[in-house]
Structure 1
């Protein structure tokens, strides 16, 4: 999850903005990011520290093996990022706010001088995120506020020590740590301005393809079995939500009256929740891992999920067209990232 914040530029931007209303937001973001950076220490120090618990020590050692694997095998950036660790003593690195209209899956975007436009707004303070969410709800938007375990500064903070490993993601399942590292490093490799679906789908494709390589590298049958179990459940859930997004999108683009759309939307959401319960009970043994998401599901949550996954198959086909060569794949993505958005999308879809 994973979001890109070019905070290292803010020191240069702030004096230019003068009385712009975004100054306070920028200042809070810069302060939050610097606090995060200054909390981090090199992984080697944590490993040598007698106060470090053995589970954390072993996980940090493994993280550095993953980090080198990302460079040597996946051709991802070899820089300062993820070679330090910080315990933030909270359960998320940042909290994101996303919003969409009542009858649309189009995310609201926020645009900032120099930094560009994104379909979310991130906060280091949970209460600030919730306050914006309530403000947007009052204005008629459907809103989702959620914690993000990590984000990428696109490499802009490497001169300050790089994006660190965090307690918010380092101690989870091994496969999830590998996913996240590969995903966030991909953002540092290639990034298209003002195109969240392109950026997130590329990084998600890298994490999925990279994780397959990592599992082969580890050669641990139990680890692969655990991954396949989690991935099968995740793919079933993706199928459910993709179907709902498609049905809602067709409804919203149709010619029915707004009142008719609202009634049909309510029915579709009820059908989705009933189908989720059926799958949960029959295929997952009652595992309610997605219960919270389903309970809060709305246009905003569905739209942001689509941004992460809708173009992933196109990127995987692009990878295959490059002969499975990681360096060629990244180079082609960087070439596409420089194209105008419409041309970029046509070229990417042409990889099919």
Structure 2
């Protein structure tokens, strides 16, 4: 996920208020960040946080030496923002489509979300989208990437919003955000996020295999098992909704019928989720997402996993060699948006 507005071109914001909340929010974060060494030398820093910061330092070195991710200023500082999320994203989509509304900025191009440092602003934007006739959703984000543009100011910091995640998840998150500094293609959110997700999955698995202990393995296994089951459920529902909308266009189904079919699909989704929660012993980590699930939420999730199998197949084709993989992705990025998506899908099939 990318920083809203500030690094996407200072003249590219749709309105002055959005520009200023981006500037204020990002610099508030930068001011709160201190070098990890300072936190470790501070006697008031809790032991649990010290241990996590040391672990994050190991992950950062691993990212450079093993995954060949950028060796720069990012993730050598830490900030406690005194809140659960660093930004809140707003996504929006039509009533009978999973295609996200896009907001366009210089440098980053068009993306399928709009990020806010203040939750109230995000909620207000979501309401505005609903007033315009779109379905909208707001979700909190634990970290974002500045694409390396802020390394001269100290780089992207570690944050309290994710530092206590399961060990494997912290590693994946760092690898994901750093990968945005390796390859980023304007106007193609699905390509960028799927690439970063592939790096986090491959790199995270490598970290767990080489660096983590049995306890971390088990904690992450439990966490990831629930995530994979939830993603499978959402993917099935997303495909079902897409089929409803596509079929309606082909045969001319009226909106009332579409609405009925959509309602049933969403009801089935929530029933299936309740069954998953029972199997999980009541784990409620996805309750907030499910409560506001709609076309916008399902459309946003697609960006993070749609092309991942293709990137994983490309990694194998590159001999599981990270520099060769990154070079192949850069070369692929030169193709048209449609051509590179089709190529990735074809590689996934062939794998």
Find the counterpart in structure 2 of residue 205 from structure 1: 198
Distance, in Å, in 1 between the alignment partners of 2:305 and 2:344 is 14
| 1:203-250 deviation digits (Å, cap 9, x = unpaired) | 111111111110111251222122222222211111111110001001
Find the counterpart in structure 2 of residue 279 from structure 1: 276
Unaligned runs of 5+ in 2: none
Distance, in Å, in 1 between the alignment partners of 2:214 and 2:141 is 30
Contact 1:87 1:167 in 2 (8 A): yes
Pick one of 321, 339, 343 that aligns with 2:339: 343
Query: TM-score, normalised on structure 1?
Result: 0.93
Pick one of 40, 48, 53 that aligns with 1:47: 40
Find the counterpart in structure 2 of residue 74 from structure 1: 67
Find the counterpart in structure 2 of residue 167 from structure 1: 160
Distance, in Å, in 2 between the alignment partners of 1:297 and 1:9 is 28
Contact 1:100 1:106 in 2 (8 A): yes
Contact 1:6 1:154 in 2 (8 A): no
SS at match of 2:181: helix
Find the counterpart in structure 2 of residue 259 from structure 1: 256
Query: In terms of mean alpha carbon deviation, does 113-122 or 323-332 score higher?
Result: 113-122
Residue 105 of structure 2 is aligned to residue 108 of structure 1: no
SS at match of 1:169: coil
Distance, in Å, in 1 between the alignment partners of 2:152 and 2:159 is 18
Pick one of 285, 302, 309 that aligns with 1:306: 302
After TM superposition, the runs of 4+ consecutive aligned structure 1 residues lying more than 6 A away are none
- The 1:275/1:160 distance shift into structure 2, 3 A limit, reads same
- The 1:347/1:27 distance shift into structure 2, 3 A limit, reads same
Within 5 Å, which residues of 2 pair with 1:1-352?
2-5=1-4, 7-8=6-7, 10=9, 13-14=10-11, 21-254=14-247, 255=251, 256-281=253-278, 283-352=279-348
Distance, in Å, in 2 between the alignment partners of 1:78 and 1:195 is 25
Distance, in Å, in 1 between the alignment partners of 2:307 and 2:5 is 23
Structure 1 residue 79, shift from structure 2 partner: 0.4
Query: In terms of mean alpha carbon deviation, does 198-207 or 113-122 score higher?
Result: 113-122
Structure 1 residue 169, shift from structure 2 partner: 0.9
| 1:102-155 deviation digits (Å, cap 9, x = unpaired) | 100000001124441110000111111111111111121111111111100110
Structure 1 residue 333, shift from structure 2 partner: 1.1
Contact 1:97 1:121 in 2 (8 A): yes
SS at match of 1:188: coil
